[in-house]
Amino acid sequence: MPRLANSSLDDRHTAVIVPLHSRGALTEQRSSRRLTVQPKYGNGSSAVLVRYQWMGAPGAPTVIVQGGISADRHVAGSDDGKSGWWSELVGHGQAIDLAHCRVLSIDWLTPSDFENAPRAISSEDQADALAALVDALRIDSVAAFIGSSYGAMTALAFAARHPGKLEKLVLLAGAHRAHPMSTAQRAIQRQILRLGQSSGHIDQALSLARQLAMTTYRGSEEFARRFEGTPDYREGRFHFPVEDYLEHAGRRFVERFDLERFLALSESIDLHDIAPESITVPATLIGFPSDRLVPLADLCELQRRLRGSATLEVVDSPYGHDAFLKETNKLAPLLRQALPSRCGA
């Protein structure tokens, strides 16, 4: 991602306002803002470039939506034909209804977005940047922060550090800290990336790290159903059915992600550690028994330790951690129920 010094867009605080003509009075604002935060692993305050999207009904309550580390600010589909990463849940008439709320989302920050780059990026930095953006956009109060995976971690940091700006937390597949087994798996991925850096095989390393990550995102039941079968012998060796899937996922990831970004955000997950007792904002937690990255037991612990009221919804799914992306039909009624009433019809 470009460094702050290279951006002229933000210096003018320019916003692109796109009327969503097919959806009545809805608007979409895509812009960048130069804001100031104090990164946890930096040396004092620093300017930072925050890229955001704000879309929905003008004047409606704002809901922050953030996903995993590979998600960007493009949450919902727009009139340019591009589908957002959560379009089945965010849109006109969807569970998060853009006719009744405005969805705000940012591209995840990495050290290169800061004028004075910190040693590492933290979930607190992401939360502080979002809070500064909320102030810059003159949003009095955020109706809800809906976070999935790393987004849930950032939502917890936001609630702990800026409780006066937030009415409700909705957390999917994310907890107050990373599980040590998940940290071990990501540490191996980062070692692969650093080996690729030192050997000059960056694309191969990024692909392999992503392939390993895919084995942690999905559930064993799904892999058993999709990839049972005999291997094919080609190119001098046996190829197992699951390999084509993993290699395809790796190639696609290399096309849209870079190594430094993966390293920074992967490390940020494992640096995350928020005391649940510091959070008084009411919360709805959603977990998946098949999730091996964020065990359901961690969400149970989080629910017990939160100081505010907290409910835990358990959703059965074969998709593991990625259930927050795949189980849209099951999640839609839970999200509708979790959102504050002023975000509804």
Rounded to whole angstroms, the Cα distance separating 138 from 134 reads: 6
C-alpha torsion 160→165→168→172, nearest 10? -60
> Does 70 participate in catalysis according to the annotation?
no
Residue 43 CB-half CA count within 13 A: 4
Pairing of strands 15-19, 27-37: antiparallel
> Does 149 participate in catalysis according to the annotation?
yes
Rounded to whole angstroms, the Cα distance separating 154 from 175 reads: 10
Q: Which of 291, 298, 317, 322 is catalytic?
A: 291
Cβ-based neighbours of 75, under 8 Å, separated by 6 or more = 53, 65, 67, 84, 85, 86, 87, 90, 103, 105
90 and 67 in contact (C-beta within 8 Å)? no
Q: Which of 70, 149, 182, 207 is catalytic?
A: 149
User: For residue 126, which phi and psi values (nearest 5 degrees)?
Assistant: -60, -45
Q: Which of 74, 100, 162, 321 is catalytic?
A: 321
Instruction: Give the residue among 168, 170, 125, 134 at the shortest CA–CA distance from 152.
Output: 170
Q: C-alpha angle with apex 101: 80 to 109, nearest 5 degrees?
A: 65
3-state secondary structure of 325: helix
Pairing of strands 46-56, 102-106: antiparallel
Residue type, 335: L
177 and 96 in contact (C-beta within 8 Å)? no
Rg (CA), the chain: 20
> Does 10 participate in catalysis according to the annotation?
no
Residues carrying an active site annotation:
149, 291, 321
